[in-house]
Amino acid sequence: MDGKMSRDNENRPHLLSRRGMLLTSAGTAGAVALGGLASPAHARTSATSAPFPTIHNRSAWNARAPRSTPGTVSGAPTYIVVHHTATANQTDYTLARAYSLSRGIQNWHMDNNGWIDSGQQYTISRGGHIMEGRSGSLLAVDGGYHLVGTHVANYNGVAVGIENEGTYTSTSPTNALWSSLIETCAWLCYHYNRPTSAIVGHRDLQSTQCPGDRLYSMLPTLRSDVGNFLSSNNMELTAPELSGSQIPPYPEVPADEPVTAYEHGPALGTDDINAHEG
């Protein structure tokens, strides 16, 4: 996820087969049950308490303070981007392991990449534990605005990122991770009133293998599962499907890509509004 890319210099062919596949802040320690967040006026539900996931905030995993305050953009992001961490497929599914993962990602992003904080807004461990990533991510959803991250080059101003622990080139995520990913995407779609077509892979926006061939092939199922989750809880999205300039560019997927933990394709571009700080 290092390196900067300019949107103007990229070759972005439209691949039809891939197109078809288409609270509380860190000041309070512990886990945040998100069902009580204010319902957005533009999405409708008859449920009194939406069954959304518990997300462990930054105090819970002992996050470092960001070097500076992340930028924000009014309104909802366009995309919900699915990543993998390009790390080992752990069999330690404990909460302690999930917290360690979050600290490891933050340390790499800040100390190796020189960014102001963790790049992604949310992290899901193989045990299905969901953690807040970049400082202010939970408050942004509650407030209906976008907190700018550093996870998909030249799209950080319009994309919220979810890191999924593991490498999913030929292996599927654990059932626990998958269930949490469904709930997290449903929560984001509902509170931001985004269509399920807004759920995309990193490779849909930048030339990378992320989130791995296997997980990427599961994205149509993810969109369907998110839609079913919302419908089963009487929650209706009113946003139109992605269209026009919102359709991802589907750049060519590289045949080979260096495998380095926490590095999985372009994360910061010269066109990003946070290009100078990460």
Domain ranges for the chain, please list them: 7-24+55-64+71-246
C-alpha torsion sign, points 73, 132, 85, 67 = positive
pLDDT in tens, 182-231: 999 999 999 999 999 999 999 999 999 999 999 999 999 999 999 999 99
Cα Rg of the chain, angstroms = 17
User: In this structure, which amino acid lies at residue 278?
Assistant: G
pLDDT in tens, 34-85: 544 444 434 443 333 556 799 999 999 999 999 999 999 999 999 999 999 9
118-145 in b/e form (b: 16+ CB < 10 A) is bbbbbbbbbbbbbbbbbbbbbbbbbbbb
pLDDT, averaged across the chain: 87
Class for the domain spanning 7-24+55-64+71-246: alpha beta
Q: 3-state class of 131 per DSSP?
A: strand
End-to-end CA distance of the chain: 11
Distances (CA, A) of 14 to 20, 92, 108, 125, 205: 11, 40, 33, 32, 11
Report the pLDDT value the prediction gives residue 200, as an integer from 0 to 100.
Answer: 99
pLDDT in tens, 124-134: 999 999 999 99
